[in-house]
Structure 1
Amino acid sequence: MPLQRRILILVSAVVVLAAIGALAVVRASSRAEEKNRVQAGGPPITRGEVSLAPGAGDRRIVFRNMAWGPHRDELATAAAGAPEGPRTASGVSCLRFHAAAGTGVCLQTDKGGVQDGYKAVVLDARLNEVATRPLAGIPTRARVSPGGHLVAWTVFVGGDSYAGTNFSTRTSLLDLRTGTYDASLEDFTIHKDGKTYRNADVNFWGVTFAADERTFYATLATGGQTHLVRGDLAARTVTTVRENLECPSLSPDGTRLVFKKRVPGLPPDAPWRLYVLDLATMAEAPLAEERSVDDQVVWTDDKTVVYSLPGDFGADLYSLPADGGGAPARLMTSALAPAFLG
């Protein structure tokens, strides 16, 4: 075979192999892009900008994405009017999250030390860190005040479930206006039954803030009982209001609290039902959810609350009328810790 023809065959072979290689790279890139877009257990998700700014476009939900895939545990957003529609992932991972008025709080794993721990990160509207505090235990609850000036979080420092009796919590408050940090609500003065109260077994959890950016409600546990307390941030006091209330959540109009309540006769590991308390009359009524809810609900407006229940990929979100009527409806699959913004 002439040398010129051999060279031509060799060059042709190299060109073909190069084309095959290029095609393989294109296909691999396409598969990677598809993998980045599709997640198991939820709608399609892509990386993009997530904002906590009020009034930034249509009403939206920002939440912890629980679907398996490259964006699991990241803060993501979806349209409030189409909660099961496409999601946008932020790249910021949180175990617990809440936001209001352009401020967010993200409780997350801290991988900066010799041994992994946890930290609370305060976020601005663009998800930039503005403050960080180490956490003494496992994150469980987080709240931002309606005006975005106050942040609270609760961690387990002993035990890992509210359902049992062998647990200890620590609840912290941070005032972003002054930088005042209260590492534990246990340092506040407790007024119980008209008297100043002290006990080594005191635990607090589940803070919810009023619109005046001073008043808050929370759960106090002591002596084997739980109590609703009303707190005064300026006076650094909490006052017991009612027994057997946990994880209260104040309605936007400030007139009602939805909470979980232990109901006698239910299983020890699933003891709660959701109730609503009218703060003017102190009358309470059950909501139309017959399953045990171990969550602090979020109000979407003055009529509806949203909460999590176990799902195939960790948790799903359900909505429910706050007047005791209607029926629960699944709002989002593979989602946790929502904040309704816009």
Structure 2
Amino acid sequence: MNNSNWTSMSHFVLLGMSTHPEEQIPLFLLFLLMYTINISGNFAIISLIVSASCLHTPMYIFLSNLALADICFTSTTVPKMLQNIFSPTKVISYMGCLAQTYFFICFAAMENFLLAAMAYDRYLAICHPFHHPMILTRMLCVWIIAVCHILSHLHALLHTFFMGRLIFCADNRIPHFFCDLYPLMKLSCSSTHLNTLMIHTEGVIVINGALAFIIASYTCIISTVLQIPSAKGKWRTFSTCGSHLTVVAIFYGTLTWVYFRPLSSYSVTTGRIVTVMYTVVTPMLNPFIYSLRNEDVKGAFRKQISRIQATFFR
């Protein structure tokens, strides 16, 4: 198979979540609502952290970057999907498809690394509270975030490079709402062995490495918390970690289900539904999970509301 077979195909067709016309409007309204909640909720978290001086700590610096990554993560896929629902062609160019794949992988990896950084912050705050401010300084936070960006882009570049080497023949219809790795690999008429190998080696190291770090951090945290004599103290400490653990469980559970399995066993229909969980639902829920279960965020929010009310009714 030579590369001349590719020159006649300059685009793909994204079939979306459903091909049934009667489901298009409900799907459009549902995803538009979730996208609006995601953008407004995460933007509110960022604005609150920037404006409230009491939230200028490592935990909330990481949280604001996670909120920004969530906005970018969802914006990589959902706007194009909303456009395609009412588009007669549902076309995305080849380069546009690769760009979407690149940024999707990049921001997914960014969330992965930031969740690990937040676990490290919780570990220091609970297991080494007196050394926490001296170890995790603002400058170190900046360096950690910079490393997260660099690693995320390198990770995305690697997988996009291997995707760009694939040859596609007659069928250019992707049964998905964005250019995901496995649906694209299913369409290829060239060998996807290297792509699958990279997902199951480098991908596993990146994702499971961060997950193992999170598990190790929380093992130490749980061990420390169990030594607290007061039941109220234990509950207060666990409650500060509960929101983070909820996000970790949803994100890694769905991510592992979709990608860390053989290509032959990948189901497009199931993969499409599960993918929605970590690409749309989890970023939408993150602001609520971190605000409703976090006294610092709720306190800062009440102060901001009081200031706004005082300004308007002065």
The TM-score with structure 1 as length reference comes to 0.23
More helix by share: 2
Q: Which has the larger radius of gyration?
A: 1
- Of structures 1 and 2, the one with the larger relative CO (CA 8 A, separation 6+) is 2
More strand by share: 1
